[in-house]
Amino acid sequence: MNVLGPVDDIPLGEGRSYTVDGEMIAVFRLRDGSLRAVSAVCPHLGGPLADGQIDNRVVVCPLHLNAWDLTTGCSKSGQPPISVYPVREDHGRILLGE
């Protein structure tokens, strides 16, 4: 279990990336207030997913606009899947891991 920092560090509807155990993880704060964490590197050509746009279901990579489901990690456009990690908010902090 890792504490990544205050939840307010991530504006509503945006994402920020964090380094956890040498791995880059993009954490998104959905407009419904919940959090999602996925691998930060786009499997297509390495785009920074934390810079992508999201809604309450998917993230769209900023480079070539492929999309992935934030909950399952499955691609909506025929790309390989991304990893998803358990993440939640606890007293205003972002907790990553089970």
Partner 1 sequence: MTQKLVVIGNGMAGARTVEEILARNGDYAVTMFGDEPYGNYNRIMLSNLLAGVETEDGIFLNDLAWYRENGITLNTGTRIERIDASARTVYDAEGNGTRYDKLIIATGSHAWVPPIKGIHRPGRGYHQGVFAFRTLDDTRGMIRYARDHERAVVIGGGLLGLEAARGLQSHVSHVTLLHAMGHLMNTQLDERAGEMLKGSVENKLGIDVIVNAMTSEILGKDRVTGVKLGDGTVIECDVVVVAAGIRPNTAMAADSGLSVERGIVVDDQMRVAGHEDVYAVGECAQHRGDLYGLVAPLWDQAKVLADHITGTTGVAYEGSRVSTKLKVAGIDVASMGLREPETDEDEVIVYNEPRKGIYKQLIIRDNVLVGATLVGDNRKAAALIQAFDRGLPLPDERAELIFDIGGAVEESPADMPDDVQVCNCNGVSKGAICGVVTGGCKTVSGVMDATRAGKGCGTCKPLVQRIVEWANGGEAEEDPAASWYVPGVPMPKPELMIAIRKYRLTSVSSVFEKLVPGGTHDAKSKMGLASLLKMMWADEYVDERDARFINDRVHANIQRDGTFSVVPQMKGGVTTPGQLRKIAEVAEKYDVPMVKLTGGQRIDLLGVPKEKLPAMWADLDMPSGYAYAKSFRTVKTCVGSDFCRFGVGDSTALGIALEERYQGLEGPGKMKLAVSGCPRNCAESYVKDVGVVAIDGGKWEIYVGGAAGAHIRKGDLLTTVSSADEVITLTGRFLQYYRENANWLERTYSFVPRIGVDRIREIVVDDADGIALALDAAVQQAVQAYRDPWKERSDPATPGQFRTSLPLTVLPQVPVRG
Interacting residues with partner 1 (CB under 8 A): 8-17, 19, 22, 24, 26, 31, 40-41, 45-56, 58-60, 62-63, 65, 67
State yes or no: residue 47 binds ligand FES (CB under 6 A): yes
For the chain, strand residue ranges (E) read: 2-6, 15-20, 23-29, 35-39, 53-54, 58-60, 67-69, 84-85, 87-90, 93-96
DSSP 78: S
Give the bridge partners for 23, in sequence order.
20
Q: Percent helix, strand and coil across the chain, each rounded to 5?
A: 5, 45, 50
State yes or no: residue 63 binds ligand FES (CB under 6 A): yes
DSSP 39: E
Closer to partner 1 at the Cβ: 13 or 95?
Answer: 13
Closer to ligand FES at the Cβ: 12 or 45?
Answer: 45
Smallest gap, in angstroms, from Cβ of residue 45 to partner 1? 6
Closer to ligand FES at the Cβ: 56 or 77?
Answer: 77
| Binding at 58: pick from partner 1, ligand FES, none (beta carbon under 5-8 Å per type) | partner 1
